[in-house]
Amino acid sequence: MSPLDLSLFGTDPWWLVLLKVVVLFVLLLVWTIFNVWYERRLVGKMQHRLGPIMNGPFGLFQALADGAKLLLKEDFRPSKASGFLYTLAPIISGTAAFTAWAVIPFGGEVEIFGVRTRLQLTDMPVSTLVILAVASVGIYGFVLAGWSSSSPYSLLGGLRSSAQMISYELSMGLSFVAVFLYAGTMSTSEVVEAQARPLAPFGLDIGLQQWYWLLLAPSFVIYVISMVGETNRAPFDLPECESELVSGHLTEYTGFRYAIYFLAEYINMATVSAVATTLFVGGYHAPWPINVLLPVLDQGWFGPLWFVIKVQLFISLFVWLRGTLPRFRYDQFMDLGWKWMIPISVVWVMAIATIRIVLTDEQVRTGPLPWIVAAIVVVVLVALLIAGREPPETETEETDIGEPFDAFAGGFPVPPMAGQVLPEFAGVMRAQPAEEPAPAAADAAKEADS
């Protein structure tokens, strides 16, 4: 891989930089409004409903009306909330959501008003790490929202959100490592160009490109799961679990401050989809065989078109998961991240590093190192399989069904186990009405009395 060429970055005139910023800001706002409508329509189709149809053609103005409602709605805060942090929290989340797009490439090199530039605000040798850093800063917005609201439900939602996002950032970062090793760079634009290299399976050069979703399939699957957990979307929307936490860290928010969180959620959903497109699905390049049959569609201003289509397909995946899968239990979700995804990512990164060294170094290829690493990988995989097995069932003590069961002994009402009998507490058990005799029995009793 040649060194990173930054000649086109940092040399744009000020008016072009300002134009890129404004266009990017407007694009994300309009795209968010569209995605709100798109999600409702797609979920409606999945559930045999119409979705929004009343406001505008096909209900297109419904999301716009909802945004206007949030802007005009009364904006208040709890009396015991920390005023400064309560307002700062959504600002942090909203700023982080927009900032991550500064290093995401929409297209290749083009000409704008006579100036050669790239359809990307900026780039640097560690652009992908910048995206992770910005996502980490966004966590503070959720934590501060839960703490500053002075509400137990908000606090629990903030803690859940921070634990969830930190946990799945680890697996997300490990999925990036395999891409770095294979592409030889951490620059987003260079990763896209690395995937444009020809791939000739069995020596056949048919125009295939080295898109990493296929070459690095384990990393791609781990990233897709991690991006759903990172954005707190169903089935991993546990920080906003209505049945347990009302609405999590957003419970005490309303009006414009709530709108900022709502905007940040949908922008983050588009952000992780854009990162998946950039690192695994070829970025702004046209798919095969279009890049071979119509190469003119794989250059210039067609790049943003392919980029948006790919990102929208990932957003459709988010909607599909929301409409089909039930919510996970929190312990199951944490087990998935810490006990499976992170260990598998570590083993996969070791395997990719070994493969890259073996393919590039003749002395290492013929030495004992590949066999040592292969043995370590096998041992780790066997250990994971053994650790993942369910423990054998043990015999439980039989409950003495002769003793009455006190449901309130521990302070909380609990249901009785099989065979246990609830005692009749005075004042707790409702008095049962006396059974009225049957009509025939009542007539016979009257005749006997007479």
List the pLDDT tens digit at each of the 450 positions of the chain: 444 455 667 788 999 999 999 999 999 999 999 999 999 999 999 988 888 888 888 888 988 888 888 888 887 888 888 878 998 999 999 999 999 999 999 998 899 988 989 999 989 889 999 999 998 898 889 889 988 988 888 888 888 888 888 888 899 999 999 999 988 899 999 999 999 887 766 566 666 788 899 889 999 999 999 999 888 888 888 777 766 777 788 888 888 888 999 899 899 999 999 999 999 999 999 998 888 888 888 888 999 999 999 999 999 999 999 888 888 888 888 899 888 899 999 989 988 888 877 767 665 555 666 667 667 767 877 777 777 665 555 554 554 555 555 555 555 556 666 666 655 543 444 444 555 555 555 565 555 555
Could you report the per-residue pLDDT of 73-117, keeping only the tens digit for each?
Answer: 887 888 888 878 998 999 999 999 999 999 999 998 899 988 989
Q: At 174, which amino acid appears?
A: L
Please report the pLDDT score of residue 284 as a whole number. 93
Q: Torsion angle of alpha carbons 91, 92, 98, 103, nearest 10°?
A: 160
Closest-CA residue to 313 (of 53, 38, 40):
38
CB burial readout 377-395, b (16+ within 10 A) else e: eeeeeeeeeeeeeeeeeee
Coil vs helix vs strand at 17: helix
Q: Torsion angle of alpha carbons 246, 249, 250, 252, nearest 10°?
A: 80
Closest-CA residue to 267 (of 74, 28, 448):
28
Closest-CA residue to 351 (of 373, 375, 372, 382):
373
**Tally of CB atoms within 10 A around 219:** 27
Kindly report the backbone phi and psi dihedral angles of residue 117, in degrees, each rounded to the nearest multiple of 5, phi listed first.
Answer: -155, 170
Closest-CA residue to 322 (of 33, 40, 29, 34):
40
CA distances to 9, 110, 284 from 119, rounded to whole Å, are 10, 7, 10
Q: How far apart are the C-alpha atoms of 345 and 380, rounded to whole Å?
A: 12
Distance in Å from the first CA to the final CA of the chain = 113
Closest-CA residue to 328 (of 235, 215, 217):
235
Instruction: Give the CB-side neighbour count of residue 366, counting CA atoms within 13 A.
Output: 2
